[in-house]
Amino acid sequence: MLAMIRSAFVDAVPLMRSRALPYVAMAVLCAVAGALLPVLTTEVSDARAVTQVPWLQFDLDIVVAICVLAVFFVYPNVARSARSEFRMTVGRFFGIIGISLAVCVESVLGFAAFIIAGFWITVKWSLSVWTYLLTEGKNPLNESWQLTNGQFWETFGFSLLLGFTAGVPMVVGILGVLGNAGAEPLVGIVLRPIAFLIYVYALHVYLLGQMHWMLRLRNRALYVSVGASA
């Protein structure tokens, strides 16, 4: 487990470099938003003596939108490290959203009905986005469920470890991007893009770890299947 997570941290760097242009462009947009917000709020406050909240909310909405957009650049970038011909299509874009929503809804319903059921469903379907993106013609939810048969606690332990090691820098990046709202222009220009790139790096690490774990379980299942047929 540790070796796989360590590999994700190392592999994330060249992957980011391979798509440097869109990530840098989004980081620049974060910096521009951080630079303009104090100017806009000052002008509004001086001229109309109104609250700064509307401008602040607008700024945060833009930054959140940029962070969400980055996810759909990172997914195909990570997927291509396992399958070079992978392309993100409109169908796959909405497929990720649909599967993620389905997992969230079923997990919430499971937790509402019985906490153990929600926990079980969350772990069993935790690989469904990757079984969908790297699908081999199977139902992604069903394949994720099947792959984790006999590997439930191992998958849970790996997800917990990955979530902590990649989640800490990811949260730091998000808080750095959002936390500079209303700061001095120089602070926004310097810290926001750095925080955004930290977030993108951590996102690469997390998705790489998830994908590699799914592929490991898929290869293990294939090995068992071949051995049984022999």
Between 2-18 and 185-229, two packed helices, what is the crossing angle to 10 degrees?
120
* 121 domain-assigned: no
Range of the domain at 20: 2-87+127-225
Which of the two residues, 102 and 48, has the higher pLDDT score? Answer: 102
**Number of domains, the chain:** 1
pLDDT of 230 over the 90 cut: no
pTM: 0.84
* 81 domain-assigned: yes
CA–CA separation, 130 vs 117, rounded Å?
A: 22
For residue 158 the two structure tokens come to: 């790996």
Q: Residues for the chain: how many in total?
A: 230
Q: Which helix (H) or strand (E) holds 183?
A: none
* 183 domain-assigned: yes
Report residue 24 CA to chain centroid gap: 17
pLDDT tens digit sequence for 80-138: 999 989 988 888 888 888 888 888 887 777 676 667 777 888 899 999 999 999 986 67
* 108 domain-assigned: no
| Residue that is written with structure tokens 């979530």 in the block | 163
* 198 domain-assigned: yes
* 28 domain-assigned: yes
pLDDT tens digit sequence for 52-71: 445 556 667 788 888 889 99
Comparing C-alpha atoms, which of 29, 138, 134 is closest to residue 78?
134
CA–CA separation, 12 vs 191, rounded Å?
A: 21
Task: Tell me the backbone φ, ψ of residue 144, rounded to 5 degrees.
Answer: -60, -40
| Residue that is written with structure tokens 């199977």 in the block | 138
* 120 domain-assigned: no
DSSP3 helix / strand / coil % (the chain, rounded to 5): 85, 0, 15
Banded model confidence at residue 51, pLDDT cuts 50, 70, 90: very low
